[in-house]
Amino acid sequence: MIRILLPMITYPDGNSARIATHAANIAKTLNARIDAFVLTASFPNVSNALGELLVDIPALLAEVRAQGRDRSRNLLEELMARTSKLGIAVTSEEVSCHPAMFGEKVAERARYADLVVCALNKQDEALKDTAIAAVFGSGKPVLLVPEEGDLGEFSKVMIAWDGSRVAARAVADAIPFLVQAKQVVIAEVADEKLLPDRKASERLLKYLTERDVNATTVTLDLAGRSISECLQSEAIALHIELLVMGGFGHSRIRDFIIGGATKGIIADIQIPTLMSH
């Protein structure tokens, strides 16, 4: 059975209860179980006599911990309510650490799951940072979903295809979605990059067709848009319910540089996107 890791962030704003509905629907689609991984904030007490005259730091830390416990309880209760109706097995684990460590903790825990589901919104940078860490640090596929709105049944899927290693990895990781989709669109973006194989889309089409996947090919035009804007807007126009793509990134000394499409989608996700690195 497929095992889904569901990070549930509680700080500073964290995930809304919508994450429970999304996770339950995804688990139902994949006939999967859910491992809820709740992260609450913990800060060292660095107060001193002078500082406490201005701010009651211990009281503030206690308030943060209390809020984390409340949000954790509410998220888990909502998840159990949604999954129990569908007969989905759920386990839960809670970790308390500094928020800067959220992403690292998720990446480590994800190595013992088949799929990570991260819900994102535009406002919360902690959710985005955690998703980035999961994509590039876990070694597992990550399904990014917009927190607001409803998910479809993943019956129509688009593959962002350029013949690269990471794109091939994403296709392999997406097979459970592809084999049950009613239609799969292989999308090649013109003028975005020179493909190493001019028949890359044709080869992928043959590969998927041999696996009884109903696939077609299409060429998209950037038309002055960024790659992430092009992929998402064209996917929405085609009523796509899931975008599949490789996550691009590389290290430059100490900084991690994220590719344009990856960065753009995480910053402003509009459609569920399966990413692999």
Q: Which of 146, 181, 211 is the last residue of a domain?
A: 146
Query: Residues 29-78: pLDDT tens digits?
Result: 999 999 999 999 998 876 554 455 556 677 888 888 889 899 999 999 99
* Tokens describing residue 63: 């308030």
Residue 39 in any domain: the answer is yes
Q: Which of 101, 119, 146 is the last residue of a domain?
A: 146
Nearest to 167 by CA among 147, 183, 189: 189
Q: Are residues 137 and 162 in the same domain?
A: no
Q: Are residues 132 and 200 in the same domain?
A: no
Q: Are residues 85 and 129 in the same domain?
A: yes
Residue 257 in any domain: the answer is yes
CA 194 – CA 191 distance, rounded (Å): 7
Mean pLDDT by 10 residues, the chain (277 residues): 97 95 97 98 70 66 86 97 97 96 98 98 92 95 95 96 93 97 95 69 96 96 91 97 83 48 88 95
Q: Which of 95, 118, 146 is the last residue of a domain?
A: 146
Residue-level pLDDT at 248: 65
CB distance 31 to 3 below 8 Å: no
CATH code where residue 118 lies: 3.40.50.620
Q: Are residues 180 and 115 in the same domain?
A: no
Residue 241's contacts (CB-CB under 8 Å, 6 or more residues apart) are 151, 152, 153, 154, 155, 156, 157, 271, 272
Q: Are residues 39 and 113 in the same domain?
A: yes
Residue 218 in any domain: the answer is yes
* Tokens describing residue 124: 């919360």
* Tokens describing residue 213: 């996947």
Q: Are residues 19 and 72 in the same domain?
A: yes
Q: Are residues 133 and 218 in the same domain?
A: no
User: What are the residues facing 8 on neighbouring strands?
Assistant: 38
Residue 236 in any domain: the answer is yes
Q: Are residues 105 and 196 in the same domain?
A: no
Q: Are residues 141 and 209 in the same domain?
A: no
Q: Are residues 205 and 124 in the same domain?
A: no
Residue 109 in any domain: the answer is yes
Provide the domain count of the chain. Answer: 2
Whole-structure pTM value: 0.91
Residue 151 in any domain: the answer is no
Determine if residue 223 is left, alpha or beta; phi over 0 gives left, psi from -120 to 50 gives alpha, anything else beta: left
Q: Are residues 186 and 265 in the same domain?
A: yes
Q: Are residues 50 and 167 in the same domain?
A: no
Residue 233 in any domain: the answer is yes
Nearest to 134 by CA among 253, 4, 7, 248: 7
CA 270 – CA 258 distance, rounded (Å): 19
Nearest to 275 by CA among 143, 154, 133, 84: 143
Residue 55 in any domain: the answer is yes
Across the chain, what does the average pLDDT equal? Answer: 90
Residue 115's contacts (CB-CB under 8 Å, 6 or more residues apart) are 2, 3, 4, 5, 30, 32, 140, 141, 142, 143, 173
DSSP H or E run through 220: strand 215-221
Domain that holds residue 165: 156-276
Nearest to 181 by CA among 32, 30, 33: 30
Give the start-end residues of each E strand in 55-169.
Answer: 90-97, 115-120, 142-146, 156-160
Please list, residue by residue across 112-144, b when 16 or more beta carbons sit within 10 angstroms of its beta carbon and e when fewer do.
Answer: ebbbbbbbbbeebebbbbbbbbbbbbbebbbbb
